[in-house]
């Protein structure tokens, strides 16, 4: 669906030139949901603007569904949808229903398919209570749900999501995430997700790419990222009685409160259950995985991926 080879984007000229993206290559298969992560100014938005056809790259080869985005824009935009958390495609003073109907004409969606899609999205996103409300009167969560419906009414093959849950409460976030999961599973829509809310990534994407300083530093499974860079996992043991000593060889003792003891162990290591159960009679065991937000923060702040790429000369996979 997406093929990017040696993408390079520079703004300005001469000594004032700013390199936004440098030598980025990746591919996304049809039907994938991929998280595209990075701190502010990393190059995420520039990459998406190239993929949507808004920017012509300085150099490199980019195709989306076999089309060069900036050369065949009319054909290209007819096959994609985009939702940007800080912007809306709705007409501010029009009821949501009328905005959606205008978009039907813009994309030349047949009336029958429009009615079917609108009915399905109304049910999935609970649009009914505010379909006749002007966009200016919607809450943020309502507007985001309406924008998602607007982006998908014409049946695109590819959806770009930029901060789709920013500023939303927990209930609104989960409704949007469930909708994205549904259209990916049932319609095979490919999704490229850029976000700072790592809850979105955990619930939607199995694969993540991390960009920083314009360079792609990681492209692979979210679980592998956690294993490599997430730090220690935790094993919480509740013994039947407080053990004579909470220490277990090979494990880091994090805390001990009578029979309740917390241990740390390497993310790459096998679960050390046998060692703990052999230490003293156990009533309950719980494993806590490293927090994804803490993992990504460690990566950004510690430059872990930059060091890896510098040593290996390739993007970790």
Residue 269: what pLDDT? 65
Q: Look at residue 169 in the predicted model and tell me its pLDDT.
A: 87
pLDDT above 90: residue 166: no
**Per-residue pLDDT tens digits for 253-268:** 999 999 999 998 876 6
On the question of pLDDT at 290 being above 80, the answer is: no
292 has pLDDT over 70: yes
CATH says 2-79+156-225 is which class?
alpha beta
- Cα distances (angstroms) measured from residue 212 to each of 13, 40, 217, 268, 301: 22, 9, 7, 25, 11
pLDDT for the residue 71: 94
pLDDT at 42 over 70: yes
pLDDT of residue 212: 87
What does pTM read for this prediction?
0.80
Average pLDDT over residues 17-23: 92
Across the range 100-122, mean pLDDT stands at 94
- Beta strands (DSSP E) in the chain are 2-11, 18-28, 33-37, 59-64, 80-84, 158-162, 190-194, 207-212, 215-221, 233-239, 252-257, 260-265, 282-288
pLDDT value at 181 more than 90: yes
> Reduced to 3 states, what is the DSSP secondary structure of residue 97?
helix
Q: Could you give the CA distance from residue 188 to residue 32 in angstroms, rounded to a whole number? A: 8
Give residue-wise pLDDT tens across range 71-91: 999 899 999 999 987 789 999
pLDDT for residue 53 is more than 50: yes
Mean pLDDT of the 57-74 span? 94
Judge whether residue 314 has pLDDT over 60: no
* Ranges of each domain in the chain: 2-79+156-225, 232-288
């Amino acid at each position: 669906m997406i093929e990017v080879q040696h993408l390079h984007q520079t703004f300005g000229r001469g000594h004032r030139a700013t390199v936004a993206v440098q030598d980025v290559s990746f591919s996304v298969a049809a039907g994938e949901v991929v998280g595209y992560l990075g701190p502010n100014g990393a190059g995420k938005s520039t990459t998406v603007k190239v993929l949507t056809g808004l920017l012509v790259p300085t150099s490199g080869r980019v195709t989306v569904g076999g089309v060069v985005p900036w050369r065949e824009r009319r054909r290209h935009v007819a096959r994609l949808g985009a939702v940007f958390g800080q912007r809306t495609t709705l007409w501010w003073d029009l009821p949501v229903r009328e905005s959606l109907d205008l978009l039907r004409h813009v994309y030349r969606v047949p009336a029958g398919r429009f009615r079917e899609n609108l009915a399905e999205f109304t049910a999935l996103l609970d649009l009914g209570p505010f379909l006749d409300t002007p966009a200016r009167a919607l809450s943020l969560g309502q507007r985001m749900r309406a924008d998602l419906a607007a982006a998908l009414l014409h049946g695109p093959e590819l959806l770009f999501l930029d901060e789709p849950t920013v500023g939303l409460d927990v209930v609104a976030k989960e409704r949007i995430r469930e909708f994205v999961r549904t259209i990916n599973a049932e319609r095979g829509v490919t999704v490229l997700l850029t976000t700072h809310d790592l809850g979105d990534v955990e619930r939607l994407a199995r694969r993540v790419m991390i960009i920083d300083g314009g360079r792609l530093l990681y492209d692979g499974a979210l679980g592998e990222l956690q294993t490599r860079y997430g730090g220690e996992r935790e094993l919480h043991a509740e013994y039947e009685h407080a053990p004579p000593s909470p220490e277990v060889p090979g494990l880091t003792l994090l805390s001990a409160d009578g029979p309740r003891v917390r241990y740390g162990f390497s993310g790459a290591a096998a679960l050390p259950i046998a060692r703990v159960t052999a230490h003293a009679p156990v009533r309950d065991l719980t494993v806590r995985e490293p927090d994804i937000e803490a993992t990504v923060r460690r990566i950004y702040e510690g430059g872990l991926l930059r060091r890896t790429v510098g040593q290996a000369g390739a993007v970790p996979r």
